[in-house]
Amino acid sequence: MAMDLDAHFPRWRITAGIDRCFHRFFDTSPISPSGRYVGLTRLPAEDRMPVAGEAAEVVVIDLETGEAEVVAVTHGWDTQLGAQVQWGPSDRELLFIDMHVERWEPFSVRLDPLSGERREIEGELYMVSPDGTKLASPCLRRTRRTQHGYGVIAPDEHIPANPGAVDDDGLYVTEIATGETTLVASFAQILEAALDPAELAGGDLYGFHVKWNPQGTRLAFVVRWSPHDDDAWVSRRNSVITMRPDGAEIHCAIPGAVWARGGHHPNWTPDGERVMVNLKLDGENMRLVSANYDGSDLRAMHPDLEGSGHPSLHPNGRHVVTDVYAHGPRPARLGGRHHADPPARPRDRRGDARGAHPHAARLRWRQEGAARGPAPGVEPRLPPRYLQRLPGRRARRVHRRPGGAAVSVMSRPRAPVPATEPRPRA
């Protein structure tokens, strides 16, 4: 029997006054370092696919007041991860992607959402380092060559192609302070150091997910191989490559041949030394699997705990939090019982990687010490339960124009949202 989430995990809808908002991904938090603000992307529409050149909005929600402010407009976004909105070391550093549509080139932005001060950085952003000093990214235009939704939306004729394992594309790291961008590992270097050239002959290499480990000492890079003569999804191969931030010590943690048995959504474990992933090691049963950064000691984290969704391991190494896909029946283990048919919508669940019964829970663990303290001039956050008592509020939309001018538009107030109302998917 499924747990009553409302009774055990009260939830509050923080976007009651502004719609079409969503946060980035399961490996980064949308909550600011002080815990007061939430950074989101707002779609121009959610009932149709976007077109190249269409603008989205970057939204900041104040958890104390309930106010929503549109702090920027961006052309650098897509439907899965939005504008890659992430926080730096303080509440005064919000980072996201924008794009020069006149030449279809993405760039990064560092914005102070409290003052409106904006700085453009020519390097691209997929994930910010834990200390907030570096950006790591693949070519965000080229990600559309293997899957839409994770980079930026540009016309097909402006998306570069990689013939084979090229030496002018790969994994990029940008120093935020200087804006200097370095191609730390090209696909030619990655192929030579960690992949089998014979196995990947007749195809092209592209970059996908990039993930810093929690310590900022290693990067995980999903490299995708796509055959020249077959564009079918099942024909592609994914490998998890790890390396130091300067491109040294390149290893293959999860080989493409292993991932091809069935797998998805890799992530670092909290110690920063292992990579975990949903994987069918035996070709049939999806399990939570982990391996050392160099590919050694590849094994299931528990013989029976089923893999699913977007897994994240608790720092204690024991509990895993993830979600369950709702498309099609599959066993879901909740409260020690097995259920053949999950509910119609995705549900959250927490599992014990060492054998205890899983329980329903939230989708991401907050790392110990993740909150760095309030930013200058920001008071500590009020308890989250304050949000359920908020009256209907107006969402203040602020569009900043060149030269610093701003236009505010007050939207119609919404009714208060009950504490028991289910939190929306976005």
Question: Does residue 387 belong to any structural domain of this protein?
Answer: yes
Nearest to 309 by CA among 326, 319, 324: 324
- pLDDT per residue of the chain (426 residues) written in tens, 0 to 9: 567 777 777 788 889 889 999 999 999 999 999 999 999 999 999 999 999 999 999 999 999 999 999 999 999 999 999 999 999 999 999 999 999 999 999 999 999 999 999 999 999 999 999 999 999 999 999 999 999 999 999 999 999 999 999 999 999 999 999 999 999 999 999 999 999 999 898 999 999 999 999 999 999 999 999 998 766 655 689 999 999 999 999 999 999 999 999 999 999 999 999 999 999 999 999 999 999 999 999 999 999 888 889 999 999 988 888 888 776 434 344 322 233 333 333 333 333 333 332 322 334 554 544 444 333 443 334 334 333 333 333 334 433 333 333 323 323 233 333 333 333 333
Q: Name the token pair of 123.
A: 């390097």
Question: For residue 299, which amino acid is it?
Answer: R
pTM score over 0.85 = no
Do 206 and 226 touch, CB atoms closer than 8 A? yes
Number of Cβ within 10 Å of residue 23's Cβ equals 19
Backbone angles phi, psi at 7, to 5 degrees: -75, -35
Nearest to 263 by CA among 292, 285, 296: 285
Q: Cα(330)–Cα(344) distance, rounded to whole angstroms?
A: 12
Number of domains in the chain: 1
Nearest to 17 by CA among 404, 405, 387: 387
Question: Does residue 2 belong to any structural domain of this protein?
Answer: no
Residue 64: domain span: 14-307+353-410
Question: Does residue 199 belong to any structural domain of this protein?
Answer: yes
| CATH number of the CATH domain containing 275 | 2.130.10
Question: What is the C-alpha end-to-end distance of the chain, expressed in Å?
Answer: 26
Residues 70-83 have pLDDT tens digits of 999 999 999 999 99
- Strand 68-74 to strand 396-400: parallel, antiparallel, or no bridges (unpaired)? parallel
Do 205 and 165 touch, CB atoms closer than 8 A? yes
Question: Does residue 379 belong to any structural domain of this protein?
Answer: yes
Do 22 and 41 touch, CB atoms closer than 8 A? yes
Question: Does residue 209 belong to any structural domain of this protein?
Answer: yes
Question: Does residue 315 belong to any structural domain of this protein?
Answer: no
Question: Does residue 339 belong to any structural domain of this protein?
Answer: no
Question: Does residue 263 belong to any structural domain of this protein?
Answer: yes
Q: Cα(272)–Cα(218) distance, rounded to whole angstroms?
A: 7
Nearest to 381 by CA among 143, 37, 126: 37
Residues 37-65 have pLDDT tens digits of 999 999 999 999 999 999 999 999 999 99
